[in-house]
Amino acid sequence: CAIRESGQVVCWGVMASGEIGNPTIVLNSEVPVPVPGLSDAVAISAGRDFACAIRSSGQAVCWGSNDFGQLGDGTTADRKVPTAVSGLSDAASISVPDGTHACATRATGQAVCWGFNNSGRLGDGTTTDRLVPTPVSGLSDSVSIAAGGAHTCAVRSTGQARCWGSNSLGELGDGSTVDSAVPVTVSGLADALSISSGSDHVCAVRATGQAVCWGSNSSGQVGNGTRTEDLEPGPLVPTPVLGLSDVASLSAGSFHTCALRNSGEAECWGFNDYGQLGDGTRTDRLRAVSVAEPLPAPISGKTVNLNPETGIVKTKCPGTGTYRKLRNPKQVRTGCLIDTRRGTVRLTSARSRKANQSARFRGGLFRVGQKKGRAETTLSLKGSLQCARRGRSALVRVRVPNHRKKSSGRKLWGSGKGRFKTVGHGGSASVRGTIWSLEDRCDGSSEVKVKRGVVSVRDFARRKTVVVRAGGRYVTGAVRKR
């Protein structure tokens, strides 16, 4: 969800329990839709299946799933439209986690929480669920609050950070793994400016600008250069995020964290399976990495965009003498050599003046090409074959650096949508969206395998075109080896 400049709230995504806040949406919405009756919002926070906002008057409202009373209206009934949180008309801030409770700070500084109270995450000294806002014990001077998966943290007006709830992974930052139903002091953090909670980890910004984190570190979300096993505690006290001493603000996701430097540069670290770190890869990062700047659109016949996703990818372009490791997304000229023998790269090329196409490639060395004005992007296999032939009395190896290596071809796997053509010495494979491979063999032929979709294979030796469907393979006739 988001707030427009006018104060109107809009939401999009799944509508399973009313979380979009617009009863005209039956299932999902791929575009932002207005939340009726909420045109004066000044703050908003959305979780997995419910959301809350603060009106300009200070009234808190919530909508969506309400199984545990997380909407704070005194019931457990789901709401498809914003509903006033009972007795909370002076909210200063509000926090909704990826869970089933919510918390807020009043204008007076009093912290309040409501909803599911397992592990004492509401901070009222009990583990009893609450259907309406309940004061957090001993916390009447809070300036910010951050609800996590099963814990909550807040910053006092003095800068002291306090946390409560589940502590099995060190979320409370007090040096122990003991749950607490009342706030406990975060060890050594008396100068916090802001705080943010993930599912099982917490991060804060010190007055100096240093970012610190603690708790679960299974994906490197603490940012200290290490990681722990799943379900094992991470750092039990605040630990500096490596290389981040000039932070203006930060935000913790479920298993990753992002920060904004004073310079305006964004950095992220932790879990990255879905590209949430924005560095152009899907590799977890144990320390902060820069969010990549968007690349310019590829130009037909001139440039393509490369995004290294796994392993090691290298490039060598005309005018450069050596291969260079591709660490971040980069635009390169057509004619460059791309080495994916130890990694995977996503290649994006121009399909038309207004549209692009992309596919992943791995396991081979190829030269990328494209004719101006044509959508088809060509990937020509390169590199030496490792072949063996028999002499009169002994096996003679040809172009094999290590004599123990067996004969093998050169190969390239592709997966994606668009018009791509892989070219070997015996034939070529043209696709429009599939998973396929082309391998040059030592006898001068090329073998095409198709895992999904349909591939058009051109057999150079036999001068014919063959269609290969999913689960099939085709071996071209042998031609003179290149």
> Tell me, what's the pLDDT at 400?
35
Of the candidate CATH numbers 3.40.50.970, 1.10.1370.30, 3.30.1360.30, 2.130.10.30, the domain formed by 2-290 belongs to 2.130.10.30
pLDDT of residue 210: 98
CA-atom Rg of the chain in angstroms: 28
Give the mean pLDDT of 252-269: 96
The pLDDT-based confidence of 389 (bands split at 50, 70, 90) is: low
Mean pLDDT of the 171-177 span:
98
Mean pLDDT of 217-243: 96
> Alpha-carbon distance 267 to 290, whole Å?
4
Residues with Cβ < 8 Å from 475, sequence gap 6 or more?
A: 441, 445, 446, 447, 448
Q: pLDDT digit string (tens) for 179-227?
A: 999 999 999 999 999 999 999 999 999 999 999 999 999 999 999 999 9
pLDDT digits (tens, 9 = 90+) for 306-341: 998 889 999 999 988 899 999 888 999 999 999 999
Provide the residue ranges of all domains of the chain, joining segments of one domain with +. Answer: 2-290, 303-475
Q: How far apart are CA 471 and CA 436, in angstroms?
A: 10
Dihedral of the CA atoms 16, 22, 28, 32 (nearest 10)?
-140
Q: Report d(CA 26, CA 131) in Å as an integer.
A: 27
Q: Is the pLDDT of residue 398 over 50?
A: no
Average pLDDT, the chain: 92
Cβ 374 vs Cβ 300: under 8 Å: yes
Torsion of Cα atoms, 36 then 38 then 39 then 41, to 10°: -160
230 band by pLDDT with thresholds 50, 70 and 90: confident
Residue 434's pLDDT is what?
84
Q: DSSP secondary structure string, 122-151?
A: T-SSS---EEEEEEPTT--SEEEEEE-SSE
Average pLDDT (126-143) is 98
Q: What is the pLDDT of residues 273-285, one digit of tens each?
A: 988 999 878 889 9
Average pLDDT (354-377) is 94
The per-residue pLDDT for 228 is: 94
- Read off the tokens for 113: 């929480």
The closest alpha carbon to 47, from 102, 88, 104, 4, belongs to 102
Query: What confidence score (pLDDT) does residue 327 get?
Result: 83
**Confidence grade of residue 126 (pLDDT, cut at 50, 70, 90):** very high
Question: Per DSSP, what are the bridge partners of residue 208?
Answer: none
Can you tell me the distance from the alpha carbon of 130 to that of 391, in angstroms, rounded to the nearest whole number?
Answer: 84
Residue predicted with more confidence, 384 or 451? 451
Dmax of the chain from CA atoms? 95
The DSSP bridge pattern shows strands 446-452 and 464-469 to be: unpaired
How much is the average pLDDT of 63-72? 98
Q: Which residue has the tokens 């015996």?
A: 426
Is the confidence at residue 482, as pLDDT, over 80? no
Question: Token pair for residue 372?
Answer: 């101006």
What percent of the chain clears pLDDT 90, i.e. is strictly above it? 82
Q: Copy the structure tokens of residue 432.
A: 């429009």
d(CA 447, CA 445): 7
- Average of per-residue pLDDT across 7-30: 94
180-194, 408-422, 450-464: least confident range: 408-422
- Given a cut of 90, whether residue 393 has pLDDT beyond it is no
